[in-house]
Amino acid sequence: MTARVRTGRGVLLCGVAAAACLLEAGAAMATDEIVVTARRRAETLQSVPIAVSSFEEERLNDLQASSIDGLSAFVPNLNLVQGRGSASSANIFIRGIGQPDALATFDPGAGVYVDDVYISRIRGALFDIVDLERMEVLRGPQGTLYGKNSIAGAIKLISRKPDDTFRLATDVTVGEYERVDLRGSVSGPLVTEKLAAGLTLFTANRNGFVTDPLTGDEYNDKETVGGRLLLRATPSPDLEILFSVDGTEEHPSITIGRAEDRLTTFGGGFTLRPAPTGEYDFTAASTVERKSQDLEHYGTGLTASWTATDSLTAKSITAYRNLHYNDYVDIDATELVLGDVFVGVDQYQFSQEVQALYDAGGRFTGVAGLFYLHESIKSDQIAFGDDLFGVTFTRDVNDDLDLNSYAAFGQGSYQLTDRLSLSAGLRFTWEEKTYRRFTTTNFGGTFAFQDAEGWGAWTPSASIDYDWTPDFMTYASISRGFKSGGFNGRANSPGEEEAYEPEFVWTYEVGAKSQWADGRLRANFAAFYNDYTDFQARVAGMDIGDFPVLNAGQLVSYGAELELTAQPIEALTLAANLGYLNAEYEEFIDGTVDRSDDVVPFSPDWTLGLLASYRIGLGNAGDLTLTGTGTFKSDHYLSVDNDELLTQDNFWVVNALATWVSPEGHYSLSAGVKNLFDELYKTDAQEFSNVGNIKTAYYGDPRTLNLTFRVRY
């Protein structure tokens, strides 16, 4: 990997030039005020002392984002892609920290929350965007208000609440690869001022991007159906009750990548398949037993908010969710039976949170609460390695994991003066995990163990912010994040079964939020320093099939982020975001290899997102809006051990969109192209170098065209 410094300077100059252009803008209307709930209460984006990005429906449409990974390059230092080998796993890295492995025993590093309900697994977390009010991306550890496993940050999906206004929305999208997406929602009053309901249904179907040259089968396709029912009751002005039921089913073919190195028999003694040559052409052969992935993800929730007094509100969030999937994964991405795996998981979770929110309209506001989570996971993994050993080989692993997590938290903000505010919070988490594992092979013999562990953690936070003017504030903060310990779901030999410890981070951040030119330009900046201890990493062991999970020691990352939005004239919207990140291991011993000073994977030094949208009035024929976006990521590694074959060089992805809107705004027609210049780039990778030298990379989508017709009432 080369050209880091040169590329970084170029990107920085682009960002500075963009800012200069925006500052020279002429008279125009102000940019819209954005409301977020990053601190569990409604605040404007410009007043909250947190690095947070917010996206409403119009901006999500501009980005052609059909699922949450569409935000990846439009938030600085965010890497959000479809995870390795499965259709709806969310590989989320924020400021260099995340968890790419969807194995059920590994906890995520960035929290995903749907209407304030925590989603425990990254499998099934790559949600389609359907009838959302907005999405928020919180960068940096959220250990006080959101708790464990939000050590990197949090992604919040906020559904649109039904009310007494009738709404109807229909989206029909068709595109290349026989893509057909249908989305519809309707909401309105059932009993005026007392009961409202909203119903959303959607399907998304597309043929595969990858073709099997041996059979003609298509892989990396999409076949999804889902829906949500939301009821909102307001029996009195002081009480609001929200009840929701949602479900998603997926039945695509397998998700496959490309083998980037030669594949070998046991110990590397014989080459089964040479390393590929030439550019990836979206073809791959596979002989997995069943070429399918089947997922069912259902949930129900009940949220009640009671305004007890003018200053005190009590809130309860109760949720139950069930995730079931059967995945066939061809890890080696070839016709060989080398890394073929079946994974079947049945997971359910129950969570209960209660909050007390205080706001008397004075100098002090606060929130305190209790949280409980129970999770149960039953998993069956069958691995096939006939070509690895030259004889039939099957390994069957059955494991169960039970979790109970308890937390108490509180945070308050006090306005010391009209301009100076101080916030502080503290959370204590205690959790217990019980793990049982039973492994057999057709060679005979068993490997079994059972263990239980508990961990406790204090996660404080504090910040101070100062309003220099009504349009300019600065802040400084310190916070601690916590990712829970656990058990190695790939333990195959004695010694690997030991529990690994939690990881922790102290984050120090300074930032500024500002509006200029009567609100026509919004500019937000943050700089941060992360000091991690006991960072968790899954590595390849010394022996075949060994995959220990290590507490890697110490990791340090630091960087800066800039977000700009401008409306120099009423018809023109410009936006840019720039992220810089340096993330390296300071202390990491992987077996006999010292990986200190290695770079953290999925952590490009530079990320850049650009957007320009121009609206052309057509008189009585409506409006035509032209939108272009460009995203850049500098070179970065896709594996823990910084393998040069599993890297991605600098790349740009450009999208374009033209949207006609009818004069009354009820109808629109959009024509879009994603990846306009058909850029070839890697998004994720799997490395099992001690199993046949497997090094598999997964690639981003090729160029695609689409048409979308929308109805809004």
From residue 518, give the alpha-carbon distance in Å to each of 15, 26, 217, 573: 22, 11, 57, 15
Q: Which residues face 224 on adjacent strands?
A: 204, 250
Residue type for position 663: P
- Give the per-residue pLDDT at 10: 45
Q: What is the three-state SS of 487-544?
A: CCCCCCCCCCCCCECCEEEEEEEEEEEEEECCCCEEEEEEEEEEEEECCEEECCCCCC
Specify the pairing of strand 521-533 against strand 503-516.
antiparallel
Is the pLDDT assigned to residue 620 strictly greater than 50? yes
**Domains of the chain with bracketed CATH:** 4-712 (2.40.170.20)
Residue type for position 236: S
- Give the per-residue pLDDT at 29: 46
- What does DSSP assign to residue 240? E
Q: How far apart are CA 475 and CA 511, in angstroms?
A: 5
Per-residue pLDDT band for 586 (boundaries 50, 70, 90) equals confident
Q: What does the pLDDT average to over 214-233?
A: 96
Q: What's the distance, Cα to Cα, between the start and end of the chain in Å? A: 51
Is the pLDDT assigned to residue 493 strictly greater than 90? no
* Nearest C-alpha neighbor of 598 from the set 99, 1, 102, 106: 1
**Cα–Cα–Cα angle for 601, 63, 516, rounded to 5 degrees:** 95
Other beta carbons within 10 Å of 67:
18
Q: How far apart are CA 279 and CA 258, in angstroms?
A: 11
Residue type for position 429: T
Tokens of 29: 């209307």
Contact by Cβ (8 Å): 48, 539: no
Contact by Cβ (8 Å): 14, 608: yes
Per-residue pLDDT band for 595 (boundaries 50, 70, 90) equals confident
Is the pLDDT assigned to residue 629 strictly greater than 90? yes
Q: What is the three-state SS of 58-80?
A: HHHHHCCCCEHHHHHHHCCCEEE
Summarize pLDDT for 137-173 with one digit per residue, the tens. Answer: 999 999 899 978 899 999 999 999 999 999 999 999 9
Lowest-pLDDT range of 253-267, 422-436, 591-605 = 591-605
Counting Cα atoms < 13 Å in the Cβ hemisphere of 21 gives 17
Residue type for position 217: D
Summarize pLDDT for 179-206 with one digit per residue, the tens. Answer: 999 999 999 999 999 999 999 999 999 9
Q: What does the pLDDT average to over 478-492?
A: 86
Is the pLDDT assigned to residue 264 strictly greater than 90? yes
- What does DSSP assign to residue 391? S
Is the pLDDT assigned to residue 22 strictly greater than 60? no
Summarize pLDDT for 390-449 with one digit per residue, the tens. Answer: 999 999 999 999 999 999 999 999 999 999 999 999 999 999 999 999 999 998 878 888
Q: How far apart are CA 640 and CA 688, in angstroms?
A: 11
Lowest-pLDDT range of 243-252, 270-279, 495-504 = 495-504
Q: How far apart are CA 568 and CA 574, in angstroms?
A: 8
Q: How far apart are CA 65 and CA 59, in angstroms?
A: 9
Q: What does the pLDDT average to over 120-131?
A: 91
Q: What does the pLDDT average to over 686-693?
A: 89
Tokens of 228: 């949500």
Per-residue pLDDT band for 489 (boundaries 50, 70, 90) equals confident
* Nearest C-alpha neighbor of 325 from the set 426, 261, 254: 254
Per-residue pLDDT band for 498 (boundaries 50, 70, 90) equals confident
Q: Determine what percent of the chain is predicted with pLDDT higher than 70.
A: 93
Summarize pLDDT for 321-358 with one digit per residue, the tens. Answer: 999 999 999 999 999 999 899 999 999 999 999 999 99
Non-local (6+) Cβ contacts of 661 within 8 A are 622, 623, 624, 625, 667, 668
Q: Indicate left, alpha or beta for 568 from its phi (over 0: left) and psi (-120 to 50: alpha).
A: alpha
Q: How far apart are CA 153 and CA 138, in angstroms?
A: 5
Is the pLDDT assigned to residue 538 strictly greater than 80? no
Q: What does the pLDDT average to over 458-485?
A: 96
Most confident of 98-112, 265-279, 481-495, 584-598: 265-279
Mapped onto helix, strand or coil, the DSSP state of residue 644 is helix
Q: How far apart are CA 440 and CA 423, in angstroms?
A: 54
Is the pLDDT assigned to residue 541 strictly greater than 60? no
The distance between the two most distant Cα atoms of the chain, rounded to a whole number of Å, is: 78
* Nearest C-alpha neighbor of 695 from the set 644, 648, 635: 644
Q: What is the three-state SS of 424-491?
A: EEEEEEEEEEEEEEEEEECCCCEEEEEEEEEEEEECCEEEEEEEEECCEEEEEEEEEEEECCECCCCC
pTM of the complete model? 0.92
Q: What is the three-state SS of 269-300?
A: CCEEECCCCCCCCCECCCCCCCCCEEEEEEEE
Q: How far apart are CA 96 and CA 528, in angstroms?
A: 12
Residue type for position 469: T
b/e map 183-208, b = 16+ CB within 10 Å: bbbbbebeeeeebbbbebbbbbbbbb
Specify the pairing of strand 420-441 against strand 461-469.
antiparallel
Residue type for position 107: D
Is the pLDDT assigned to residue 520 strictly greater than 50? yes
Q: What is the three-state SS of 546-613?
A: CCCEEECCEEEEEEEEEEEEEEEECCEEEEEEEEEEEEEEEECEECCEECCCCECCCCCCEEEEEEEE
- Give the per-residue pLDDT at 8: 43
Higher pLDDT, 232 or 125: 232
Q: What does the pLDDT average to over 465-491?
A: 92
Q: Indicate left, alpha or beta for 445 from its phi (over 0: left) and psi (-120 to 50: alpha).
A: left
